[in-house]
Every structure is written in C-alpha cells, then in structure tokens.
C-alpha cells in the first residue's frame, strides 16, 4: 500500500504556527499555510491583515525540538499590545483578543 507523504516540515528551523478558524456553518478547520509563512512574525501580520475570518485557537510546534503548545493567549496578548500601532484593527482580531483574554 502506498504511503501518504508526511505533512511534517522537513527542514524547518523555527517554530511553526497554525490557526484554527471558525467558518460558521462549515465548521472549524486548521488553515493551511506554506512552510515559509508559518513563523510568528508572518502569523501576526496575517492576523492584522484580516486574512482569517474568525480565528479561535493558535498552536505552535517545533518538530526538531519535539514540542507543541497552545499559544492562543500569548498571541492575543501580543496583538492587544500592538493595537496602538494601527489606525484600524480588524473586527476578527478584536473579537479573537477579547475571547482569548477571557479564558
């Protein structure tokens, strides 16, 4: 039986971040991202560019170091601190921060 290719990044030397997005009636799904765009800086930029309609959870992992964790609160806190840098913050980000900071 043929094996499916691994979805684990092969040569990643940084932490990888994935977003669980709520698509309403369609349900929740982990959003795909290319390997080069899976770092923290790119994640923050994409969130502030309103590229996720309703982010609900963010996880980070590093396969070379062998760890994974929920970073939802950490990312929400960083976003909240950066609000002053932007004239407008997408409502999806404001809602994400408000929800994450309550938990």
Each residue of 39-94: pLDDT tens digit?
999 999 999 999 999 999 999 999 999 999 999 999 999 999 988 888 889 999 99
Q: How many CB atoms lie within 10 A of CB 72?
A: 21
Q: What is the pTM of this model?
A: 0.82
Is the pLDDT at 12 greater than 60? The verdict is no
Q: What is the pLDDT of residue 36?
A: 87
Packing angle, helices 91-102 and 40-48, rounded to 10? 120
Is the pLDDT at 9 greater than 60? The verdict is no
What pairs with residue 22 in β-bridges? 28
């Amino acid at each position: 039986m043929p094996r499916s290719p691994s979805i684990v990044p092969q040569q990643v030397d940084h932490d990888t971040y994935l977003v669980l997005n709520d698509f309403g009636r369609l349900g929740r799904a982990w959003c795909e991202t290319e390997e080069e765009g899976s770092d923290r800086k790119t994640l923050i930029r994409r969130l502030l560019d309103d590229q996720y309609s309703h982010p609900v959870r963010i996880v980070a992992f590093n396969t070379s170091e062998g760890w994974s964790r929920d970073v939802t609160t950490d990312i929400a806190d960083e976003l909240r601190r950066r609000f002053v840098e932007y004239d407008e913050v997408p409502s999806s980000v404001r809602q994400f921060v408000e929800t994450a900071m309550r938990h």
